[in-house]
Structure 1
Amino acid sequence: MAEDEKNKWLIFACVALGVFMSTLDSSIVNIALPYIMQDMGTGVETIQWVVVGYLLTISSLLLTFGRLSDIRGKRMVYTGGFLIFTAGSGLCAMAQTPLFLIISRVVQACGAAMLMACSPALIVDTFPVRERGKALGMVGAVVAAGLTAGPVAGGILLDLFSWRFIFYINIPIGIGAALAGSLILKNGQSDPGSLEPMDKTGSLLQAVSLVCLIVVLTHLNQWQFFSAKTMGFLLTFAMASLGFVWNETQTLYPLFDPALLKIRLFVLPVITSAILFGTLFVIVFMMPFFLVHPCGLSASATGLIMITPFILLFFISPVSGALYNRTGSRGPCSLGMTILALALFAFARIEPSSGMTAIVSYLALAGTGTALFVSPNNTAAMGAVPANRRGIASATVATARNLGMVIGVATAGLIFTGTFTSLNHGTPFQTYSSSVEPMFMAGFHRAMAAGAIMACLGSILSFLRGDDRPRVH
């Protein structure tokens, strides 16, 4: 019994290390975007692909790696993810052009997808029902720790060195994590898997559909809606999506189990998770530009301010995870989404002259709403599926989260760029000066307002999931 207890927490530590590394990288990169854009002499519509390419690759591959973990075992997928993520980080640090950096981020994202696909399933497999809410809440705290450390570490590295060091920092962490995972998971999740065949057609169709959708969102300002390129990508998206649905209903071993769509307490948490992270990443993507340009803050000061929502996530996530065990997910998730909507409405009216107190207060609201939502929502989704489908369910939850992030960044970039360009006589945003502040703020406000509307929809859907208080006998 004591040995089982020890192994349980060793596995948790291994999962926590992977979660920390991937979230640290995400938050560091967002802080660095204005500096990468300036160093490489490019614009927002290009530099957003450093984030979008990373998140889109993760979203496209999570179901594939989740299914692979069910087939071949979670240990192989998880430890391999550390190695690929580390190699991609090294390539990012050496990038000399935007294209090479974006491609390197895609490599890095392949490793991140392998880590993310397994993390919740490893926790649910390891901890008994009565401890899952607490354990996943603790994972939420680790997410918060990575997101909190990222802006601070990124700001310091940017002030002292250059943006390249935000990728170099991943290399020693990744190597150590791969070694630790290889040893620790021998004692626990070394399951051989089901050894069923992989649905390669489903994997390809899902990836094609997501890529086409995001390409349209990020290029709509340049191409216009009724252009041949836009129509071509939308048609391909529609055909690939229909093909994916048909394939999943026909194959004996589908990438995504259609039976999961019949589970209400799985489907609605997945949808609302995508909405929450879409709205959150409107803030995460746009705020560094607002703080660096109109507010005139340094990288380190920007980093310190951007840790605000994640500090709240650190303290509230374990509490909200435990709260699920008493109340279920409907109350905390509905309340959390509503609070996030209020924060976005506040940002839709903010000005550089509003002061740091207002900015930090609104970021704290966003962090509180996110922290109330995440742990209960994940626990509800993972607890609603059969044990033999937790790998694919875990990957589906992670796919929804990352797809929401992609759509949030792409939507914010689309609205901001479209507004700025139209008000600036067709000239897109590349360099900032006081003369373009009115156009900048108009684009910023509209992007935040769009995020607020998305959060209101998420609040309604969170409530509609019904009463899901856990019943442990």
Structure 2
Amino acid sequence: MHTAPAKASPWQVFFLVAIGVFMSTLDSSIVNIALPTILKEFGSSLAITEWVVMVYLLTITCFLLTFGRLGDILGRKRIYAAGLFVFTLSSLFCALAPHIGMLIAARLLQGLGSAMIMACTPALLVDAFPDSQRGRILGLNGAVVACGLTAGPAIGGFLLSVASWRLIFYVNIPIGLVATLLVLRYLKESTRQKGIRNFDWQGTLLAALSMGLLLMALTHGYDWGFTSFLFLGILGLSLVCALLFILTEKKKPEPMLDLSLFQNRLFALPALCGMLLFCSLFFMVFLMPFYLMLPAGFSSSLAGKMLMIPFAFLLIFSPLSGSLSDRMGSRFLCTLGLFIMACGLFFLSCLTATETIWDIAWRLAMVGIGTAIFVSPNSATVMGGVPATHRGSGGAVLASARNLGMVLGVALAGAIFHFVFDRNSAGASLSAFSPEHAEVFMQAFRTAMATGACLALFSMIPSWMRGKETRKP
């Protein structure tokens, strides 16, 4: 019988988990700053180059549930170590890519590795620490996520200034190899369920198709047209796959995702709130760079520093809110976090094109504080709402909801912004932005930010409806 990694050395587990979390989050933010350089070197179009980022996110979202379930069956150490190795190997392929197609393919493989890492980390941490410290440790994990997201633009900018964009991927290799060896040497295996023969391959395929098609439709919906046959057809296929997935999972004796988990309000409602929060957050994440660099006229360097503000507050407040949730539960903290975020987005919707750095900074700080107050208590509640044998699946649901919220936020913010901008500018292209478009831009920007604020306010309802947890001493 395998022993759980939890009781061996909890802080050793946290350190090993933090390496993988930092690498995967850093790589998602560090690559964005290299896109213009990659586009220029390969001579590819913007639409094709975007897939360097999109295929990574799509792959993670589609396969989180798969690897979460495999972690429950095969053991979380095994899946986590395999994820680190795949991530490291694919980083080498990215660095050596001779053309854009090979880079995109390597990023797909890197997304698989990241999905393995992200699906296992919440369960590994919850297994490792007592229930009384769950909020605190997930808060510290949120701080590691914030470190990766915050450091990405700064590290990427530095590496690009001294060498090729390929160095961004080369630096992963020694870190990833050392991390893989440390995990294999020191991390103990979790208790495993029944063998691989019981794995739900049909449910895996349907889940991946459903989420992949949905994200593809939402990502390209504006370009294709939301009433076009292509958009409606792909969206319809996504819904059909989702329905077949639900029907399949109900019949399976060993389903990939136990749908009965969603009957628990302390699992279902926090998972929903997590998706809605990240959807609201990515209204800001997606549109703020355009605001800072176009109507506000900031340099790319200054804009990058400004965008670090909300994640810096996430780094500061996540451990604090996690510790507080261990004593007072998540209901009040999560609802308060959503309210503060809604206020921050509302104040962002009041910006003009001539604001000072400080006028913008305190608004971004509010969004970061609201997010930090919410994330750790909410994650602790989700992970506390699943039995130990399904924590891999529970962590995967949590991560899937987060990633789905991110893509929904980008898609909705882009659709709202483009609709208002195109209508009021007589179809002007944002790529040809000039000062006379500033007011039209701000109208579209304000509409999108106000929509994000309304979504955050709405999210307070299911957040409060979760009720109170039964806290263990």
When the two structures are superposed, what TM-score results if normalisation uses the length of structure 2? 0.91
Deviations 1:355-413 (A, max 9, x none): 11022111111110111011100111111211111111111111111111111122223
Report the equivalent of 1:18. 20
Partner secondary structure for residue 149 of structure 2: helix
User: How many angstroms does 1:202 deviate by?
Assistant: 0.6
Report the equivalent of 1:405. 406
Deviations 1:214-242 (A, max 9, x none): 22222222322332212211221121111
Q: Distance in 2 between matches of 1:381 and 1:324?
A: 13
Equivalent of residue 127 in structure 2, options 122, 125, 128? 125
Q: 1:141–1:315: 8 Å Cα contact kept in structure 2?
A: yes
Greater mean deviation of Cα atoms: 125-134 or 315-324:
125-134
Report the equivalent of 2:383. 382
- Are 1:64 and 2:39 matched, yes or no? no
Report the equivalent of 1:81. 83
User: How many angstroms does 1:441 deviate by?
Assistant: 3.4
Q: 1:274–1:403: 8 Å Cα contact kept in structure 2?
A: yes
Report the equivalent of 2:287. 286
Partner secondary structure for residue 142 of structure 2: helix
Aligned residue identity for 2:76: K
Q: Where does structure 2 lack aligned partners over 5 or more consecutive residues?
A: none
- Are 1:458 and 2:450 matched, yes or no? no
Decide whether aligned partners of structure 1 residues 89 and 291 sit closer, same or farther in structure 2, where only a CA change above 3 A counts. Answer: farther
Report the equivalent of 1:232. 233
Deviations 1:184-232 (A, max 9, x none): 21xx235454325211111111111112212222222232233221221
Deviations 1:243-269 (A, max 9, x none): 000000011111100110111100011
Q: How does 1:67-466 map to 2 (within 5 A)?
A: 67-94=69-96, 99-161=101-163, 163-185=165-187, 188-189=188-189, 191-196=191-196, 197-466=198-467
Partner secondary structure for residue 353 of structure 1: coil
Q: 2:6–2:128: 8 Å Cα contact kept in structure 1?
A: no
Q: Distance in 2 between matches of 1:336 and 1:284?
A: 17
The Cα RMSD (Å) is 2.5
Greater mean deviation of Cα atoms: 214-223 or 92-101:
92-101
Aligned residue identity for 2:207: Q
Decide whether aligned partners of structure 1 residues 363 and 326 sit closer, same or farther in structure 2, where only a CA change above 3 A counts. Answer: same
Q: 1:30–1:285: 8 Å Cα contact kept in structure 2?
A: no
Partner secondary structure for residue 173 of structure 1: helix
Size of the alignment, in residue pairs?
Answer: 468
Q: Distance in 2 between matches of 1:171 and 1:463?
A: 44
Q: 2:193–2:389: 8 Å Cα contact kept in structure 1?
A: no
Decide whether aligned partners of structure 1 residues 208 and 76 sit closer, same or farther in structure 2, where only a CA change above 3 A counts. Answer: same
Q: 2:72–2:392: 8 Å Cα contact kept in structure 1?
A: yes
Partner secondary structure for residue 153 of structure 1: helix
Q: 1:275–1:458: 8 Å Cα contact kept in structure 2?
A: yes
Q: Distance in 2 between matches of 1:213 and 1:443?
A: 25
Greater mean deviation of Cα atoms: 444-453 or 85-94:
85-94
Q: 1:57–1:110: 8 Å Cα contact kept in structure 2?
A: yes
Q: Distance in 2 between matches of 1:119 and 1:389?
A: 13
Aligned residue identity for 2:399: A
Partner secondary structure for residue 56 of structure 2: helix
Aligned residue identity for 2:247: W
Aligned residue identity for 1:75: K
Q: 1:270–1:400: 8 Å Cα contact kept in structure 2?
A: yes
Identity of aligned residues (%): 45
Q: 2:334–2:375: 8 Å Cα contact kept in structure 1?
A: yes
Decide whether aligned partners of structure 1 residues 11 and 89 sit closer, same or farther in structure 2, where only a CA change above 3 A counts. Answer: same
Greater mean deviation of Cα atoms: 26-35 or 446-455:
26-35
User: How many angstroms does 1:431 deviate by?
Assistant: 4.9
Decide whether aligned partners of structure 1 residues 108 and 71 sit closer, same or farther in structure 2, where only a CA change above 3 A counts. Answer: same
Deviations 1:263-291 (A, max 9, x none): 11000110001111112122222222333
Partner secondary structure for residue 449 of structure 2: helix
Decide whether aligned partners of structure 1 residues 47 and 420 sit closer, same or farther in structure 2, where only a CA change above 3 A counts. Answer: farther
Q: Distance in 1 between matches of 2:470 and 2:298?
A: 45
Q: 2:353–2:438: 8 Å Cα contact kept in structure 1?
A: no
User: How many angstroms does 1:103 deviate by?
Assistant: 3.4
Q: 2:344–2:364: 8 Å Cα contact kept in structure 1?
A: yes
User: How many angstroms does 1:295 deviate by?
Assistant: 3.4
Partner secondary structure for residue 9 of structure 2: helix
Q: 2:339–2:457: 8 Å Cα contact kept in structure 1?
A: yes
Greater mean deviation of Cα atoms: 439-448 or 266-275:
439-448
Q: Distance in 1 between matches of 2:384 and 2:316?
A: 23
Q: 1:340–1:366: 8 Å Cα contact kept in structure 2?
A: yes
Q: 1:30–1:284: 8 Å Cα contact kept in structure 2?
A: no
Q: 1:147–1:310: 8 Å Cα contact kept in structure 2?
A: yes
Q: Distance in 2 between matches of 1:374 and 1:368?
A: 10
Q: Distance in 2 between matches of 1:35 and 1:290?
A: 22
Aligned residue identity for 2:83: G
Aligned residue identity for 1:453: C
Greater mean deviation of Cα atoms: 406-415 or 434-443:
434-443
Greater mean deviation of Cα atoms: 57-66 or 281-290:
281-290
Q: Distance in 2 between matches of 1:422 and 1:97?
A: 38
Decide whether aligned partners of structure 1 residues 90 and 444 sit closer, same or farther in structure 2, where only a CA change above 3 A counts. Answer: farther
Partner secondary structure for residue 354 of structure 1: coil
Greater mean deviation of Cα atoms: 95-104 or 329-338:
95-104
Q: 1:326–1:469: 8 Å Cα contact kept in structure 2?
A: no
Aligned residue identity for 2:111: A
Q: 1:45–1:413: 8 Å Cα contact kept in structure 2?
A: no
When the two structures are superposed, what TM-score results if normalisation uses the length of structure 1? 0.91
Q: Distance in 1 between matches of 2:441 and 2:185?
A: 51
Aligned residue identity for 1:65: F
User: How many angstroms does 1:76 deviate by?
Assistant: 1.4
